[in-house]
Structure 1
Amino acid sequence: MAKDKKTETEQPKPVMPTLYNNLVPLMTDVHKDLHMINGQNFSFAAKVNAVPIVIQELPMIIKHYPVVFPADTPGVMLAVLGIRSEQNLFVDDKGSWAADTYIPAYIRRYPFFVARQNEEAEPVICFDDTSDFLGEKGDQALFDKGEATDTLKNIVEFTRTFQQHLEASNDYCRAIDEAGLLEEKEISFNAGDEVKANVNGFKALEREKFDAIEADVLKDWMTKGWVDASVLHLASGGNFDRLWSMDRKRNA
């Protein structure tokens, strides 16, 4: 019996993480001829104005980027890369990242990713099969006679370590959110009396509430590195002025 096309339901496409278009598991038999293609072109990130970061990166991140918490996604910490939609002020029209500027690990991890079917499942190394960084003709093979090369071993170690740090950092983000320490913020950038850009939809620590944390909670957070993370986050706010300056130069 023929199916009525009007009654058929299409499976919704899964929502991909920021930067990624189509994630597939990396498999030895299927991808035995896959190679990494050398070259540091960051055009793939040119329209991304924020990326997730981990606590371990904060000392480097706060030298260049504001650190915020998205208002609509609890448990995530972001480095802000631009003050407008689809704007990354650190990538130029040639795909080069701004000189002498720390590149977030989330960016450096691309096109690889760690995925789980559920919380109990083993993590699986995946990659974005639309990426220009991978192909059958490249500089560094991922497999040699069915075995992972040193190139792939280093990729897997970096990707898994970043994921572990990300999950631990998300615990910190959820804790400060549940403690009621985050307040929704909005920043406007003016030229005279005219508002030229506006950044909203994010949260930041409220300093007075942070200073009022009870002693036993503070002690626990200090052992976890969460107090240092909070102080670094608060110190990063001044980088919004840097982004505004970069935006004006780009649009001059």
Structure 2
Amino acid sequence: MTDTTAANAQGSLDGNVLFYSKPEPLSAEMHGALGVNPVDKPYAFVSSSHVVPMTVTEFAPASLSYPVVFLGENKMPVAVMGLRSGENLFVSAAGEFRADAYIPAYVRRYPFVFANDQAQQRLILCIDRAAPFITEGGQAPLFVDGKPSDYVNQAMDFCNNFEQERLRTESFVKLLNDLDLFEVKEAVFTPRDANGQPGQPQKLADYFAVSEEKLKTLSAEKLAELRDNGALGQIYAHLVSLLGWDRLVAMAFERARQNGEIAGNA
């Protein structure tokens, strides 16, 4: 598992933000006639991504669905939703999210996103003009009488909250780095034959995770500090989430059976 997605998820106005193929600064002049139509299955844009960025406050709810790991030089936290690039085991090609799976905020904010205006030192609300549910005369208008609609104002609030969580996540990762708590780990799958005998282990991914051994070496004072600022709970949620690799393997085999790629038991 490479850090390509981690790099692309940073992005700005040039269109290299994960999921956003045509982001444009939102304005009444350009988008005054546009609106959003309700869609029963709106998540097709996620179906070809096997990882999705996470914020730290999402670790606990996400841990019930996915492994939450850290990728790339910046150690960006992501939810792992598939075992191979281009395949998401939780989202169908039609855009339906599994009913029992947590939907990350990074996904829920789409088609809106903030971009940095470095010249003005401010954030600009952008919209992915390529989103298929944004159309001329859509049911929920983006602007009313030339002013942002309630729909857009709610999106602005969501993106503001997301930005605060993103900054909080950066601080959390810096804390883990400063405490030297990261280690490189491997997700490994051991296949079994028809008789249940184990075969050659197969590596699924390399990633960064918190080292339980390093965590144990922290002083009582430092552990109490992590407990009191909430970081310890997020660390444990991350560690518990790593049990989800087995679920991903089972889901991958089930999809392969459904697609006729394999037969019988894995």
| TM-score bucket of the superposed structures, by smaller chain | 0.7 to 0.9
Structure 1 gaps, min length 5: 1-12
Q: 1: CA distance between counterparts of 2:203 and 2:128? A: 32
Q: Which residue of 2 aligns with 1:242?
A: 247
How far did 1:181 drift?
0.8
How far did 1:136 drift?
1.2
Q: 1: CA distance between counterparts of 2:160 and 2:73? A: 22
Q: 2: CA distance between counterparts of 1:149 and 1:14? A: 26
How far did 1:26 drift?
0.7
How far did 1:94 drift?
2.6
TM-score for the superposition, normalised by structure 2: 0.83
Would you say 1:86 and 2:120 are equivalent positions? no
Deviations 1:230-252 (A, max 9, x none): 01101111111111111000001
- The amino acid across from 2:93 in the alignment is D
Q: 2: CA distance between counterparts of 1:120 and 1:174? A: 27
Would you say 1:226 and 2:231 are equivalent positions? yes
C-alpha change, 1:107 and 1:48, in structure 2 (3 Å) is: same
Moved more, 221-230 or 135-144: 221-230
Contact kept? 1:75, 1:172, Cα under 8 Å: no
C-alpha change, 1:241 and 1:118, in structure 2 (3 Å) is: same
What's the secondary structure of 1:19's corresponding residue?
coil
Q: 2: CA distance between counterparts of 1:14 and 1:147? A: 26
Identity of aligned residues (%): 29
- The amino acid across from 2:56 in the alignment is I
C-alpha change, 1:126 and 1:67, in structure 2 (3 Å) is: same
Q: 1: CA distance between counterparts of 2:228 and 2:118? A: 29
Moved more, 15-24 or 82-91: 15-24
- The amino acid across from 2:45 in the alignment is F
Q: 2: CA distance between counterparts of 1:124 and 1:209? A: 41
Aligned residues: 238
**What's the C-alpha RMSD, in Å, of the aligned pairs?**
2.0
Structure 2 gaps, min length 5: 1-12, 193-198, 258-266
- The amino acid across from 1:156 in the alignment is M
Q: 1: CA distance between counterparts of 2:235 and 2:141? A: 41
- The amino acid across from 1:240 in the alignment is W
C-alpha change, 1:156 and 1:15, in structure 2 (3 Å) is: closer
Moved more, 73-82 or 46-55: 73-82
Contact kept? 1:24, 1:129, Cα under 8 Å: yes
- The amino acid across from 1:44 in the alignment is F
How far did 1:216 drift?
4.1
Contact kept? 1:74, 1:174, Cα under 8 Å: no
Would you say 1:177 and 2:207 are equivalent positions? no
Contact kept? 1:75, 1:171, Cα under 8 Å: no
C-alpha change, 1:83 and 1:143, in structure 2 (3 Å) is: same
Q: 2: CA distance between counterparts of 1:103 and 1:89? A: 13
How far did 1:176 drift?
0.7
